[in-house]
Amino acid sequence: MLSACKAIVIGRNDAQVDFLAKTAHRCGFAFVEGVDADQLPPPRALLRFFLVHYLVGDDVLRSVLHEIRRGSVDVRFSPVILIADDCPFESILSYIRLGVDDVISLPEKREVLMQRLASQLNTEHMYVETAEYFGPDRRRMDVDINDSRRRGLAGHGRYYIRRVPDRGIEIIRHEIFTANHDDRDPPIDVAWAPAP
């Protein structure tokens, strides 16, 4: 599946970019494009992954996430994967709260690494949109999906998406929770279709 996708690797220097590019090639990405943290590549037609080296720092990571998440549909729903050294669970949670799709600690077996990356494809993912945030559900590791704290928040929306290598990003459903939303009421389901 990854052979139909592009990896865009982001690091602070050539050594970080080279390390991520080698990792992406090892995982079987068809195309790998390396950039430094100061610039993001222009959009391309292929489904893309952004692999970010953890040593870019939190401020750069926030900036990268901001640029990606404000892009067009085929960019903003791209998986952003942080590649890190083995780190404590609290650090992983802090990266998840920043808005990355996954944190992968290395070293890891090639098969496990490929499986983790492939889990971003052909499965449903939920993205949340508020006035201050757009990205994957940040509470997914803190709070169970059926917990009442994950339902009925006023003034936000949810996108349910699927990334399909040969078709791109599919928006399955878009729900809006208004300020007048009552937990007993279903969210407003927005009909959504991509632009031609």
pLDDT reported for residue 18: 92
User: Domain segments of the chain: what residues?
Assistant: 2-118, 124-190
- Report DSSP state, residue 112: H
- Count Cβ atoms within 10 A of the Cβ of residue 77 and give its class: 0-12 exposed, 13-18 middle, 19 or more buried: buried
pLDDT, tens digit, for every residue of 173-185? 988 876 654 444 5
In contact, 148 and 183? CB cutoff 8 Å: yes
Query: Has domain 2-118 been given CATH number 3.40.50.2300?
Result: yes
Entry pTM = 0.78
- Rounded CA-CA distance 153/107 in Å is 39
pLDDT, tens digit, for every residue of 26-61? 999 988 888 666 666 555 556 889 999 999 999 999
